Amino acid sequence: MIYGYARVSTEGQDLADQLEKLGRAGCGRIFHEKRSGKNADRPELQAMLDTLQPGDTVLATVTDRIARDPLDMLTIMRTVKAKGAGLRLLEEPFIDTTSEMADLILYVVGWAAQWQRRNILRCTAIGRERAKARGVKFGRKPKLDAPQQAAALARLAGGDSAREVASAFGVSESTIGRIVSRPAP
C-alpha cells in the first residue's frame, strides 16, 4: 500500500497542491492535517504510522511536511523502517529509506528544516517588534470599548451583579471579571 502524508501549518493554508501530487503518485490513502510541524505529536501522522505494514510506502512532497526537527525526522524514519515500510519524498528524490545514506541525508535535510523554522521565527519576531514600535496593537479587539467598560464598572459600583451587567452588555461574566481585575490606566 502507498500512503501519502500532507500537512500545512494553519487552517488558512491550502492542502490542494500536496493532495494532487500525492494522488498522482498513486497513494491509496492520504493522511492530511492542518497542524504545525514543529513537533511529531500530530494525530494524522501518528494514525498513518500506526497503519503501516511491511512493504508499505509513505510518500510526502518535501521533508518539512513530515517534520521540521531533525530528531523528529529520524524518529519518524526509524518508525517507518521498523514497520518494514519505506519513506520517499516526491520533490526530494534523494530521500529514500532504502538508500544506505538515508539516515545521514535525512538528518542533514531535517537540520536545514529546523534552521529554516528558527529563521522564520526570528524574522517574525523582528517584524512584530517593528510593528509594536509603529504603534500596532496585537491581540483580539476588546469586546467592550473604553466607554462601555466605564459604564459596566459604574453599574457594578451602583450595585448591579456581574451577571446583570454581563447580560446588559451581551458579554460573558468572565469578560466583566477581566474588566474589574484590570489595573486602572
CA distances from 73 to 67, 97, 122, 125, 128 (A): 5, 12, 22, 26, 30
Is residue 137 situated within a structural domain?
no
> Which one of the listed residues 9, 99, 167, 172 is annotated catalytic?
9
Q: What is the pLDDT of residue 151?
A: 94
Same domain, 122 and 153: no
Same domain, 117 and 34: yes
The CA distance from 123 to 151, in Å, is: 41
Mean pLDDT of 82-107: 82
Out of 129, 155, 170, pick the residue that ends a domain: 129
Same domain, 64 and 114: yes
pLDDT band at 31 (very low <50, low <70, confident <90, very high): very high
Is residue 139 situated within a structural domain?
no
Same domain, 16 and 69: yes
Is residue 35 situated within a structural domain?
yes
The CA distance from 6 to 169, in Å, is: 44
Q: In what order do the strands lie in the sheet with 57-60?
A: 29-34, 2-8, 57-60, 86-89
pTM: 0.60
Is residue 100 situated within a structural domain?
yes
Is residue 177 situated within a structural domain?
yes
What is the extent of the structural domain holding 62? 2-129
Is residue 157 situated within a structural domain?
yes
Same domain, 95 and 152: no
Same domain, 112 and 169: no
Count of domains in the chain? 2
CA geometry: angle at 69 spanning 17 and 103, to 5°? 95
pLDDT band at 4 (very low <50, low <70, confident <90, very high): very high
Q: Is 76 exposed, middle or buried (0-12, 13-18, 19+ CB in 10 A)?
A: buried
Same domain, 103 and 154: no
**pLDDT tens-place string over residues 119-158:** 888 999 999 999 999 999 888 888 999 899 999 999 999 9
Q: What is the pLDDT of residue 77?
A: 85
pLDDT band at 116 (very low <50, low <70, confident <90, very high): confident
Average pLDDT for the chain:
89
Is residue 96 situated within a structural domain?
yes
User: Are 54 and 19 contacting, i.e. CB atoms less than 8 angstroms apart?
Assistant: no
Same domain, 46 and 100: yes
- CATH number of the domain that residue 112 is part of: 3.40.50.1390
Same domain, 55 and 17: yes
Question: Can you tell me which residue has the cell 493532495?
Answer: 19
Same domain, 99 and 40: yes
Lowest mean pLDDT among 52-61, 128-137, 174-183: 174-183
pLDDT band at 23 (very low <50, low <70, confident <90, very high): very high
Q: How far is residue 63 CA from its own chain's centroid? A: 15
Active site residue 36: no
Same domain, 118 and 30: yes
DSSP per-residue letters across 119-145 = HHHHHHHHHHHHHHHTT---SPPPSS-
Is residue 141 situated within a structural domain?
no
Q: Is 12 exposed, middle or buried (0-12, 13-18, 19+ CB in 10 A)?
A: exposed
Same domain, 62 and 107: yes
